[in-house]
Amino acid sequence: MRKLFLALTTLFTVILFTSCGETKKQEPATQNTQKELIEENVVESILTAEEQAEMTPQEIIGRLKKGNENFMNNNLTQRDHSAQRRKAMIGQFPKAIVLSCVDSRVPVEDVFDLGIGDIFVARVAGNIENEDIVGSMEFATAVAGSKLVIVMGHTACGAVKSTIDKVDAEALGMRSLANLMDEIEPAVVETALEGERSSKNTTFTNSVITNNAMRTVKNIREASPTMAKMEDEGKIMIISAVYDMESGEVKFNND
Ligand SMILES: [Zn+2]
């Protein structure tokens, strides 16, 4: 009986150690599988002319919304930038051009989970248009084939807030900044809202930010008959949006 007990104990010990050994052996294999999965999901390609041609402006909006969801969920696509850089040398076929404020807290590509070759980005404080910006947009759409123009304002925009508060930039020696704020001023004037007309009034400020982006869209259409015609023909869309810095969400104003 004692011998049997000893034999069973030895057997169990052997089984136990063998299973432990197997578990330990499996660990690196599981890690490798996870690494391979991550590597498999790394994007190495860039947009091709065919892919750009196939997309409609509406489809691009849908893709940007999905990308923005990834950004909000902290789930950005992994990209092999070295591989993408090499492929991008052949040419570029971006799907959209985004006009954003210069604000360092608005990382445009990340906000839409995009990378090399995906979008053109134009940036100027307060996301207003001027001849150079419109010229860049004409190149992006009529020459390079992008189907969507987005004017993207953002919450807590310093340029808009300073304009609302009538900061006298010229008196502070910044004539160019004063001129830029003059471009935002009409959006402040046009915003009809009860309550205090100061940047402390967040509701009012957010309305001005939305109106400023919408106004820029209107100005772009007026400044570029070529893009206005392309939009009438359904080839491109020119829309405005506002990026919420707190939630990371981009709200499109045509929703
Ligand atoms: Zn801003």
Distance 199 CA to ligand 1 centre (A): 13
Q: Give the span between the Cα atoms of 132 and 123, in whole angstroms.
A: 11
pLDDT the model gives residue 255 = 62
The one-letter amino acid code at 17 reads F
Distance 1 CA to ligand 1 centre (A): 85
pLDDT tens digit string along 110-142?
999 999 999 999 999 999 999 999 999 999 999
Q: Write down the domain spans for the chain.
A: 1-41, 49-252
Phi-psi region of 195 (alpha: psi -120 to 50; beta: other; left: phi over 0): left
Q: Which segments in the chain show pLDDT lower than 70?
A: 1-40, 255
Q: Give the span between the Cα atoms of 245 and 255, in whole angstroms.
A: 19
- The model's pTM is 0.83
pLDDT the model gives residue 32 = 61
Instruction: Order the strands of the 250-252 sheet from edge to edge.
Output: 119-123, 96-100, 148-154, 237-243, 250-252
Place of tokens 């919304």: 65
Distance 165 CA to ligand 1 centre (A): 14
User: Under CATH, domain 49-252 is a member of which superfamily?
Assistant: Carbonic anhydrase (3.40.1050.10)
